[in-house]
Structure 1
């Protein structure tokens, strides 16, 4: 079991929503799971058992005990993906489109983790039974490079490297509209959307610092090909920032138009490059991965 102690810096938000957001980056718990922890007595406020309808007050002392994950029947599945690099400590892979990274209770099949369990004999155990080897994620509709960890020592070091922004992640995407600047920097805090739990938003409420740098690679009649260099790794960061400046990712079902949700390929966002020092050997690592064929075909179509 793990315990987290939190001093509330806000007032008026339901405790289940507050904890879901506060623990999002570390654990990515669903709100329903947090509600279950509260109902089962794993959460206290000022040393008293919490209830799900409690509204957090300023300076409340909240303590949540996170029980050990139950052993779930996550089965290996032959799910295709390309391994770019592999050694005894880590894997760099090319994640396909329309693939969820890890299982969740009630949804334990058809994920990247199921595919990893089929191909790889040993994965790190630090993230629990549902997320073996997972230190960071890509959205379901985002393609490209991703690190998966095999040894626990490498896992611990990579987590610290991510927190310290020591892993340089570069993305490429097609966005709506023509961006006339050659480059730019977006520095806006990101937090949970107030009205839709699935979405994030630029907000000053319960938010975290977020920085996205971008460079224009090519412009078309109504679209722009952009390269993104992110200094922070917030949930949906690029998608939220670009939507905020009115250049949402083409095909994004959450932050662009309703028509984008019908785009057959999905969202045109690709993890193009990873640069970092190997967590065990210290060797400089640099990987590039071209976007999938559908992405390239769309660029060619826009150029015509």
Structure 2
């Protein structure tokens, strides 16, 4: 495999170019291939710190299968993956973009950030997207995600393009002045209103538990719930996240007796199986739907008070249409009423 360097990629380091191009490969793999001369620059062994020039030639001595594996795959709503031929598809996921920030409608299955494995994340996809527009890493700042969503939770992610916007967004998230609204399809119909509790996390199992009373190591949580539309045994609700803890909405709703439909960790197994069989649902029907920005004083002043919404994944509409059409779920009658 031969990679020719053009003017767009001139001036960057070889190792950074390879990490961006082979987005599924670990750093260790890339440096090992350089040491073993399976990756060479202009016919010679390279260390990775070389500065690229237009006209440079990189040769990769991999099989086609290995190259495709580490280059990545095309993004789909089901898998959340993005690959070579599908890079342009990132355009269809962008909700808003200006010179300072970008808002992405993350599909279920896509990581917000890398989790230590080789699987790529929204962070890498946006970095490559901006690099293609010559808006990549500048002045030492690498565009990065400011908030996180669980891998199988869809919806709005905020990316900062510079230090100033990163500071303003981070401060607003820390002070909870950015309003965050989620939509979820839950089993049964919870009583609307503000709900509080205390959350503890088991890091080994990556599960959390919600209790009504405080305990050692527990974090206070608070969420406001509103009913949007009842539909048979399920209900479409809106949740305003007033504190932002891991798995907060999923675990709190489950502890209340109204688990999110499709949730493999905190949900109802019988309902999940039925949703999977009838609609192909494979993960929690939870979507980070809307962000309402506060009054900014700095570089983001021009978008103060604006609201941004992310379209719902197709699974939401399929399930609501099916249930609204008097679809009954086996074994759920009376469980969530």
Do Structure 1 and Structure 2 share a fold, with TM-score over 0.5?
Answer: yes
**Pairwise mapping of residues 20-39 of structure 1 onto structure 2 (< 5 A)?**
none
Note closer, same or farther for the CA distance 1:189–1:124 as it changes in structure 2 (3 Å cut).
farther
- Contact 2:165–2:300, Cα closer than 8 Å, also in 1: no
Q: Which residue of 2 aligns with 1:92?
A: 103
SS across alignment from 1:272: strand
Pairing 1:108–2:137 present: no
Give me the whole-angstrom Cα distance separating, in 1, the residues matched to 2:230 and 2:137. 42
Check if 1:199 corresponds to 2:216. Answer: no
Measured in 1, the distance between the counterparts of 2:195 and 2:219 equals 14
Aligned residues: 225
Determine if the alignment matches structure 1 residue 295 to structure 2 residue 316. yes
**Relative to total residues, which structure has the larger helix share, 1 or 2?**
2
Q: For 1:130-169, what per-residue CA distance to the aligned partner results, in whole angstroms no more than 9, with x for missing partners? A: xx51211111111112211111121122111111111100
CA root-mean-square deviation: 2.7
Q: Give the CA deviation at 1:123.
A: 5.9
Instruction: Map Cα deviations across residues 224-246 of structure 1 (whole Å, 9 max, x no partner).
Output: 11001111111111101101101
Q: d(CA) in 1 for partners of 2:197 and 2:285?
A: 22
Once residues 110 and 151 of structure 1 are traced to their aligned partners in structure 2, the CA distance between those partners, rounded to angstroms, is: 22
Q: Give the C-alpha shift of residue 109 in structure 1.
A: 2.9
Q: 1:123 to 1:148 in 2, by over 3 A?
A: farther
Structure 2, unpaired ranges of 5+: 1-48, 50-69, 73-81, 326-337
1:284 CA drift (Å): 2.2
- The list of structure 1 runs, each at least 4 consecutive aligned residues, that deviate by more than 3 angstroms after superposition, is 74-81, 122-125, 258-264
- Aligned to 1:296, what secondary structure does the other structure show? helix
Q: Any gaps of 5 or more consecutive residues in structure 1?
A: 1-70
* SS across alignment from 2:183: strand
2:128–2:136 CA contact under 8 A, matched in 1: no
CA distance in structure 1 between the aligned counterparts of 2:254 and 2:172, rounded to whole angstroms: 28
Q: Which has the larger radius of gyration?
A: 2
Aligned counterpart for 1:224 among listed residues 225, 235, 256: 235
After superposition, the Cα gap between the structure-2 partners of 1:226 and 1:75, relative to the gap in structure 1 and judged at 3 Å, is same
Q: Give the Å deviation of 1:259.
A: 4.2
1:91·1:150 contact (CA, 8 Å) conserved in 2? yes
Aligned partners of 2:145 and 2:157 also within 8 Å? no
